[in-house]
Structure 1
Amino acid sequence: MLVFSVIASALAPGLALMTYFYLKDKYDQEPLHVVIKMFLLGFLIVIPVLILQRGMMLWLGDGPVVESLLISAGVEEVLKWFVLYHLIYNHVEFDEPYDSILYATAISLGFATVENILYAWYSQAAFGPMLIRALLPVSGHAMFGVIMGYYIGRAKFSGHETRRKFLLLSLFLPWMYHGIYDLILNVLTHSWIWFIIPLMVLLWYGGMGKITRANNRSPFRMIKREEEVKT
C-alpha cells in the first residue's frame, strides 16, 4: 500500500498537468496516442540524461554553476529539444502552432514524472515535500516545455528568414530558465524560496500568454468560428 501511495503521489502532478495542457488545445486536438507516445519518450530519455550527466560530472566536476547550467539544465533541455525537433517538427500532425507546445510539455512532463517517482521512492517523502515537488520542479519542467514548444511553433509557421532565430530561441530560452532555476536551488540553499516563487510566477504568466498567442495563430480558428456562426 505504501508503494502504491508513493507512486500515485508522484504520478499525479504530471498527469494532471498533461491533461490541462491537452485540454488547452482549442481548435484541433491532437491524437491522444501521439501525445502519450511523447509523454513516454520523456520517460525514456531519463536513461541517456543520467549517463551523460554522470560522464560530464566526472569530466567537469560538480560545482554549482557548472552543475546547474551545463550538467543539469544543459543536458536535459538539449535532449528534450532533440527529440521534439526530430520526431515532431515534420510530423503530419504538427499543423498548428499550439501542437508543439503540447508535445514539448508531454516530453517535459514525462521526464519530470520519472524524476518525481525516483525522488518519492528514494526519499520516502511525506505529503508536504511531494506537494512542493508538484508545485515547483514538475510545473517548472512544464513551463520549460511551453517555452520550447512555443518557439518551435514560431519556427514552423514563420518565414524562412526568421526560422533559424526561433529554433535557437526554442533551445536557448528553456535552457536559460532551467539553469537559473537550478542555480537558485544550488546556491541559495536557505533563501531559495524567495527567488523561486517570483521565477515560477513569471514562468506561468509568460507561459499562459504564449499558449493564448499560439492558439490565436491557429489556421483552424477561423474555420471553427465560421462553423459556430452557421450553427
Structure 2
Amino acid sequence: MIGILSAGIAPGLALLSYFYLKDQYETEPVFTVFKTFLFGALLVFPIAFIQHVLKTEYQFESSFFNAFLSAGMLEEFIKWFILFYAVYQHVDFDEPYDGIVYGASVSLGFASLENIFYLISYGLEHAVGRALLPVSSHALFGVIMGYYIGKGKFSSTAKWKWLGLSFAFPVILHGTYDFILITQENWLLLMFPFMIFLWWLGLRKVKKARELSARHIESQLFY
C-alpha cells in the first residue's frame, strides 16, 4: 500500500514542485498551495458521485457527452469554481503567475487522489503510464486555467473574457483528451501528438505568465 500511495502521489508533487519553483518573484506560501492541493483532492468524491449518477440514472451512450460534458465540463467547472471562489480573492494571489501555481495545485490534487484509487484498483504496473498521461494532462489543464485566471485578475480590461477562457479552454482540451481515449482504437497515435501540443501550450503559458508577472511587479514599483 505504501508503494501505491507513493507512486500515486509522487508525479503530482513533482509536477507541482516544478511549476511552483518557476515563480521567480514572491513564491506562494506552502500552506496555501497545500490547502489548494487538498481542495483539489477532495473534489474527487463529489465528481465521482455526479458521474456515477449520470452513468447509472441517465445512461448516456454518446462518446461526445462522456468526453466533453461528463468528464471535461464537469471536472473543469468544479476545479474552476474552487479557484475562483476560494483562491481568486485570496491575498496571496498577488501576481499573474500565481494563477499557474494555484491552477496546477488544484488540478494535481484531484489527479493525485484519482491516481491512487486507480492504482489500488488496477495495480502498480500502470503507475508510469498514469504519470505520463492523466496526471500530466490534468496538470497542464490546470496551468492553462490558471494562466487565464491570473490574466483576468490583473487585467484592467476584458476581465470576464479571460475568466471565461479560463473555463472554456480547459474544457475543450480535457474533452479532446477523453474523446481520443474513448473513440480511437489506436489512441496512442493521436494521443502522442496531442500531449506534445499540450506540453508546448502549457509551457508557453508559463513563460507568458512570468512575463506578465514581471510587468506587474515593475508597475507596482513605479506606482
Indicate the TM-score class for this superposition, using the shorter chain for normalisation.
over 0.9
The structure 1 residue matched to 2:204, chosen from 203, 209, 226, is 209
The equivalent residue for 1:227 is: none
Q: Does 1:176 align with 2:172?
A: yes
**Contact 1:27–1:221 (Cα < 8 Å) also in 2:** no
Aligned to 2:183: 187
Code of the aligned partner of 1:173? F
TM-score (norm 2): 0.94
Instruction: Report the 3-state secondary structure (helix = DSSP H, G, I; strand = E; otherwise coil) of the residue aligned with 2:97.
Output: helix
For 1:158, the aligned partner's letter is S
Q: Is the 8 A contact 1:152 1:166 kept in 2?
A: yes
- Structure 1 residues 221 and 143, CA, compared in 2 at 3 Å: closer, same or farther? farther
In structure 1, how many angstroms separate the alpha carbons of the residues matched to 2:59 and 2:172? 19
Aligned match of 2:33: 35
CA deviations 1:23-61 (Å, max 9, x no partner) are: 011111000000000000011111110111122222252
Corresponding residue number in structure 2 for 1:159: 156
Equivalent residue pairs, number:
219
1:68 matched to 2:67? The reply is yes
SS at match of 1:90: coil
Larger Cα Rg: Structure 1 or Structure 2? 1
Matches within 5 A, 1:135-150: 135-150=132-147
Matching residue of 1:11: 9
Cα separation, 1, equivalents of 2:124 and 2:62: 26
Q: Secondary structure at the match of 1:83?
A: helix
Identity in percent: 43
Q: Which residue of 1 aligns with 2:106?
A: 107
Aligned equivalents of 1:191 and 1:222: distance in 2?
50
Q: Where in structure 1 are there 5+ consecutive unaligned residues?
A: 225-231
2:163 aligned with 1:200:
no
The alpha-carbon deviation at position 210 of structure 1 amounts to 0.8
**TM-score, with length taken from structure 1:** 0.90
Cα distance between partner residues in 1 of 2:33 and 2:136: 18
* Cα distance in structure 1, aligned partners of 2:194 and 2:13: 23
Contact kept? 1:60, 1:66, Cα under 8 Å:
no
Name the CA distance, whole Å, in 2 between partners of 1:158 and 1:70: 29
